[in-house]
């Protein structure tokens, strides 16, 4: 299969936004910007939750690019953001890496001077639920947003 230098594909549906992109840090910035724009257009009142949502998205995508795909631009990351009844958002981040033992990572405390390894703590702090597949290369996240019956913003 011929190498495609930089892939960045976006698909928007009524309740979801999905991306397939090459493992580069620059693509993470684009995903975060487009996700923010999408959430603002679809969920009235979401502005007050955008910081923690973006923090978690950026953390998950950075881990997928850096650790999962080892910064290899030939490897791809899939990202799916779904709005569920304007009550919660669900995220799925998948890399092409070998995965990792997230259960072991979850149980340990980190020294304050550690410059990595805080992703699970961040996800646990700002999102309602997170989990991984058994292999450890697909991350699932859910955040309750409780904006019942507000629908799409105008």
CATH code for the domain in which residue 82 is found: 3.30.565.10
Residue 111 lies in a domain: yes
Q: What is the pLDDT of residue 20?
A: 98
Residue 2 lies in a domain: no
Residue 150 lies in a domain: no
Q: What is the pLDDT of residue 75?
A: 97
As a whole number of angstroms, the distance between CA 65 and CA 43 comes to 28
Residue 73 lies in a domain: yes
Rg of the chain on CA atoms, in Å: 16
Residue 59 lies in a domain: yes
Q: What is the pLDDT of residue 148?
A: 47
Q: What is the pLDDT of residue 64?
A: 96
18, 80 Cβ separation under 8 angstroms: yes
Residue 60 lies in a domain: yes
Q: What is the pLDDT of residue 153?
A: 46
**What does pLDDT average to in each consecutive run of 10 residues of the chain (154 residues)?**
76 95 96 96 93 96 95 97 94 94 62 60 92 94 74 46
Query: Which structural domain, as residue segments, surrounds residue 101?
Result: 8-144
Q: What is the pLDDT of residue 149?
A: 45
Residue 63 lies in a domain: yes
Residue 153 lies in a domain: no
Domain count, the chain: 1
């Amino acid at each position: 299969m011929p190498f495609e230098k930089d892939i960045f594909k976006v698909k928007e549906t009524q309740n979801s936004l999905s991306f397939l992109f090459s493992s580069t840090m620059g693509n993470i910035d684009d995903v975060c910007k487009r996700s923010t724009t999408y959430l603002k257009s679809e969920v009235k009142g979401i502005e007050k939750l955008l910081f923690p949502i973006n923090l978690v998205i950026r953390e998950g995508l950075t881990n997928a690019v850096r650790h999962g795909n080892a910064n290899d631009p030939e490897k791809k990351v899939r990202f799916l953001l779904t709005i569920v009844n304007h009550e919660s958002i669900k995220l799925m981040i998948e890399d092409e890496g070998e995965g990792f033992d997230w259960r072991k990572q979850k149980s340990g405390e980190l020294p304050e001077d550690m410059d990595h390894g805080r992703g699970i703590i961040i996800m646990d702090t700002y999102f309602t639920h997170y989990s991984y597949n058994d292999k450890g290369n697909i991350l699932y996240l859910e955040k309750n947003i409780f904006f019942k019956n507000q629908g799409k913003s105008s």
